[in-house]
Amino acid sequence: METRRIGSLTVSAVGLGCNNFGMRVDYPQSESIVHAALDAGVTLFDTADVYGGTESERFLGRALAGRRQGAVIATKFGERVDDRRHGANPAYVRQAVEDSLGRLGVDRIDLYQLHLPDPATPIADTLGALDDLVRAGKVREIGCSNFSVAQLREAQVVVPHGGARFVSVQNEYSVLNREPEREVLAECGREGLAFIPYFPLASGLLTGKYKLGVPAPAGTRLSQAWAANRFLTEDRLTTVEALGRFAVSRGHSLLQLAMSWLLRRREVTSVIAGATTPEQVRANVEAADAWQLTDGELADVDKIAPV
């Protein structure tokens, strides 16, 4: 598989999002998914302390035991684990990393990411604590998630000379949600930041399993009423069907379009698609290599799903 760079890290162009572990899939299934990913050439595994009520990190660590060589572990902190564990103040940063190291069963995290900005803590204080972790060898690289251009710039300005700085930003991005193209992707290009899109398949909308006028399949992510009302809107499904017709007209699938379209962006480092079965992992990996979109095809997509 093609590899790309996140700071000093070399990662596969397709990663595995582990947000389903401990929530939608149990440990045996999580292990089978991780092993399928490794066998398919995936090296980047992205999780967070809050996923699965902290079980995702435990599941990932267990599944990688004995196969840690070559695997790049990315996790996050800052979201609310409980009333005491949340935010990005230095004391909590130190606690959060120890908690994650313990759950993962490792002595170093490859990419440690601030899950979201903490308005109660100056970013300089957070970066100082993260720099301490890098110097202590507990973290290799640091990144952020859900940051705006203004927040990225502030974080770059306050880093002291020689201090650890964010090497990546992880924001929502897909052919259905092109917000990063307004500012963040350009900032990544200017500053050499790796961009990691989450929800690259728009919570499953871009897999082709959801159809206009047809109830969501039972057991899927969007089968619950609140999720369907939020995500399965008529305009989004109409766009999805148009994208699907376009892909088929070129001899490809909607999934292949969704994955290949993202990897056509030079700022995108790794597409971290989630999975609930080994088959989904293999399909995501195969889809990424299936279609090298031309400039003309990109322009056609822009007409169907504009920024």
Q: Which residues are catalytic?
A: 51
User: Which pair of tokens denotes residue 89?
Assistant: 């103040």
Length of the chain: 307
User: Running DSSP on this structure, what letter comes out for residue 52?
Assistant: G
User: Within 13 Å of residue 76, how many CA atoms lie on the same side as its CB?
Assistant: 28
Contact status, residue 180 vs residue 195, Cβ threshold 8 Å: yes
> In angstroms, rounded to a whole number, what is the distance separating the alpha carbons of residues 292 and 123?
39
Compute how many other C-beta atoms are within 10 angstroms of the C-beta atom of residue 61.
21
Closest residue by Cα to residue 203 from 180, 183, 182, 224: 224
Q: Nearest 5°: CA angle at 125, between 121 and 128? A: 150
> In angstroms, rounded to a whole number, what is the distance separating the alpha carbons of residues 219 and 222?
8
> In angstroms, rounded to a whole number, what is the distance separating the alpha carbons of residues 234 and 228?
11
